[in-house]
Amino acid sequence: MDVPISGPILIEKGEQLAQELGHTDCKLSGGWLDRFKLRHGIVFKTMSGEAASPKDIDTSAWEETLQKILAEYSPRDVFNADETGLFYKCLPNKSLTFQGETCRGQKIPKERFSLLCAANMDGSEKLPLLMIGKFGQPRCFKGMA
| 59 lies in some domain | no
pTM of the model: 0.45
Residues of the chain with pLDDT under 70: 1-3, 46-55, 92-99, 101, 103, 105, 134-138, 140-141, 144-145
- Predicted pLDDT at 1: 44
- Predicted pLDDT at 74: 93
pLDDT in tens, 19-30: 999 998 889 999
| 129 lies in some domain | yes
Identify the domain containing residue 21 by its residue range. Answer: 7-40
Number of domains in the chain: 2
| 62 lies in some domain | no
79 & 130 share domain: yes
pLDDT in tens, 2-13: 567 888 888 999
| 101 lies in some domain | no
- Could you tell me the CA-to-CA distances from 81 to 31, 116, 127, 130, 143 in Å, in that order? 49, 7, 9, 10, 34
| 84 lies in some domain | yes
Q: Is 116 helix (H, G, I), strand (E, B) or coil?
A: strand
| 68 lies in some domain | no
